[in-house]
Amino acid sequence: FNGEVYLQHRGDENVYMVPGAVKYQIDRSLYDIREKNLLSFDVNRVTLLSIEKRDGEKKLQNMVVENRDGSFWFTKPKEVLADRDKINGVIAAINQLQAKQFVVEKGITDQKLSLFGIDRPLVKITVELMNDSIKSNDSISSNGVYHSVSIGKTVVGEMINYYASVAGSRSVVLLKNDGAVEKIGAGFAKLRDKRVILFERDDVNSIELKSGIDVVVLKKIGAAVNSDSGSTSDSKSKQVWMFSKGMGAIVDDLIVEGVLYKLMTLSSVKIVHEADDKIVLADWGVEKERVKISLFDKAGELIDSMTIGDKNGDIHYVKSQKIGRIDAVSGKLLDEISFIKEDYIFNEDKTE
């Protein structure tokens, strides 16, 4: 056998020799060749995402997320910034929901939906897009604005199955249990943005580190530096950090960039008080702003600031001006940020 097979068309006396792979293509089942994705849409066109989570009769949570020029914001259960990466992960998981088995093709009754937990779904998802770029394997949205999927859950012994039905299809599929449902149903607390101080690193032109009466002010300035010799020339433009006043010493750029990175990645371990709570600032040591970090843009306008309050074990309590809530954050991470001028001076011995 040389890997080829013979083929003859009905009504054709000729016999053809074709690659053996044709046989495997012909032998594929209907399931193998049909579309298994429940929805197909351009993830970049999502303008709104609604997720309802239920537990039997009880509605646990109704979340609505809006896309505002590339930033995701919760409008329900409350208006706060959402974690962009996590929301993108949820959208991708919705787009990748796949059928493992087509259980009921069409015409299922509401009574039979209860067999699959879809009459009172564990999760109901609605995706809204900019235009008509969304479709399902059963239908295309009439106005192209949105489509909904309901997901039910059944438990038999130790076996957990997830079933889904696209709105308007009256069909049910068994989902591949690959963690997508868990990701979609992560919940408000896990999907909200927990960063404490909000900024883009390239926008920061000045940093003020205040501890009591001591203040360190670092400012980014432009300089033309020769990439080989380090001498000033027109060969290459580079921005460096300097002390804004006093001390003429050279600032270690890597240390400053490290501070910015720590601030960018500083996230809440626990949200102690929301911005709209009645907060007694003295309870957390942030009322006098004794220790504070402020970031400014090129025009000298405040981007955001963070007041550091009391410490309890490995936890620091902080309050940012932009977000306005009280957060518990890693004390270890904050302890790595120095408020002493001398710690920012470039030390050539450290590079050797």
Predicted confidence band at 212 (pLDDT cuts at 50, 70, 90)?
very high
Q: Which DSSP letter does residue 201 get?
A: G
The verdict on whether omega for the bond into residue 77 sits within 30 degrees of 0, i.e. cis, is yes
Among 294, 303, 292, which Cα is nearest to 203's?
303
Mean pLDDT of 148-161: 90
Instruction: Report in angstroms the alpha-carbon separations of 105 from 137, 166, 171, 225.
Output: 11, 11, 5, 69
pLDDT tier for residue 145 given thresholds of 50, 70 and 90: low
Non-local CB neighbours of 217 within 8 Å, separated by 6+ positions: 206, 207, 208, 209, 243, 244, 245
Using the structure block, give the residue that is written with the tokens 């220790």: 291
**Best-predicted range by mean pLDDT (50-64, 166-180, 184-198, 217-231):** 184-198
| Between 166 and 222, residue with greater pLDDT | 166
Take residue 50 and report the two structure tokens written for it: 């609604």
**pLDDT at position 143, please?**
45
Asked if 196 and 275 touch (Cβ cutoff 8 Å), the reply is: no
290-342 residue pLDDT tens = 999 999 999 999 999 999 999 988 999 999 999 889 999 998 888 899 999 99
Q: Give, as one character, the DSSP assignment of residue 208.
A: E
Q: How far is CA 77 from CA 188, 191, 320, in A?
A: 8, 12, 22
How many CA atoms, within 13 angstroms, populate the side-chain half-sphere of residue 74?
22
In the numeric block, the tokens 């309802």 are attached to 52
pLDDT given at position 232: 46
Q: Please give the full DSSP string across 105-119, using - where no structure is assigned.
A: -S---HHHHGGGT-S
Q: What is Dmax (Cα atoms) for the chain?
A: 99
